[in-house]
Amino acid sequence: MATRHCASVTRQQRNMAEGSAGSAVSELQKRITSAFEVFDHECNHTVDVREVGTIIRSLGCFPTEAELHDVIAEIEEEEPTGFVRFEKFLPTMTRLLLEHRFRPVSEDLLLQAFEVKLLCFKREIIYTITLLQNALTRLNSGPGPGEEGSPGSGGTVPILNPGR
């Protein structure tokens, strides 16, 4: 599948992103610009307001829902259009990232969350394997050839209910 590339932000916006405030800020603004462009599907320097949280998280920030709503309120137009313009997004995100406003979740907490999910997944697999083993055991200990209920005898084969 071919990927669609937008024309990058305008020269004025790129200059604003690269700025003269120092290389650290310049690099930060380049990251913000790149993240924004991924979601600028129309190549018109706007993103759907519903994508703002994803963009912010892709930059390593993990705001609460209330904090995210505050950011959106700050960068959205006075008359909400459902879109956020790059010109408003860049300075706000630069400031928030420089202030270290939204601390990332600790690696230990992320690891713990994945371990819990993995444990639940293992339990589901073990439960499924147990159900399959029980079903196979019942089928193998069923009636012999030619007996009522065996395949080919004209009888019926019991159907197992996996929900039991």
Where do the structural domains in the chain lie, given as residue ranges? 11-98, 105-141+153-164
Bridge partner residues of 85 (DSSP): 46
| pLDDT at residue 19, as a whole number | 47
Closest-CA residue to 40 (of 16, 15, 6): 6
Alpha-carbon separation of residue 142 from 107, 151, 153, 163, 164 (angstroms): 52, 10, 13, 20, 18
Pick the CATH number of 11-98 from 1.10.10.10, 3.40.50.920, 3.20.20.60, 1.10.238.10: 1.10.238.10
Q: Which long-range contacts (CB under 8 A, 24 or more apart) does 100-103 make?
A: 101/61, 101/63, 101/67, 102/56, 102/61, 102/62, 102/63, 102/67, 103/62
Which parts of the chain have pLDDT scores under 70? 1-21, 104-105, 110, 113-114, 117, 142-164
Please tell me the total number of residues recorded for the chain in this structure: 164
- Mean residue pLDDT across the chain: 77
Tens-place pLDDT, residues 13-57: 555 555 445 788 889 899 999 999 999 999 999 999 999 999 998
Query: Where does residue 143 rank: exposed (0-12), middle (13-18), buried (19+ CB within 10 A)?
Result: middle
What pLDDT was estimated at residue 25?
Answer: 87
Contact (CB, 8 A) for 83 and 47: yes
